Amino acid sequence: MRKFFVGNMKLKIFAFLLALLAWIYVNSSPVSSPGIWKRQIILSVQYKNLRNDLRLIESTDQVELVLFEGIHAFVPVEPMRAYVDLGQIEKEGRYFLKIQVELPKWMKLKYQRPEYALILVEEVKK
């Protein structure tokens, strides 16, 4: 049995190729670099710039983000926020508006879900 493992050149070549393929796979992963992590978070969506004569009836509450974080040792914690600018709404109705995300410079957004907020606005009765 010892001769099979020690003297078998085909087995050694196969083991080397298998180890090489595993090394290439691990090093090609975008998250494999030291100091980079993949993180999933959920943020509450904030709404701003709604006119005084309009009222928000229904809206998307949260957004899910998947982030790649860079090396951030010794970097102070910076706030993240998700918001929708309602300044372009002129009258009551149903709107789909893009959810804007503000992240620290060292974070990269891979994707967010949902990308658009469903918003229902009505006029305030005086």
Residue ranges covered by each domain of the chain: 1-30, 33-123
pTM: 0.63
Higher pLDDT, 22 or 28: 22
Per-residue pLDDT averaged across 12-38, rounded?
76
Look up the CATH architecture of domain 33-123.
Beta Complex (2.170)
84, 73, 93, 80: which is closest to 43 by C-alpha?
80
| Choice among 15-19, 30-34, 86-90, 112-116 with the minimum mean pLDDT | 30-34
Provide the pairing of β-strand 93-98 with 116-123. Answer: antiparallel
Q: Rounded mean pLDDT of the chain? A: 82
Is the predicted pLDDT of residue 112 greater than 80, yes or no? yes
pLDDT category of residue 34 using cuts at 50, 70 and 90? low
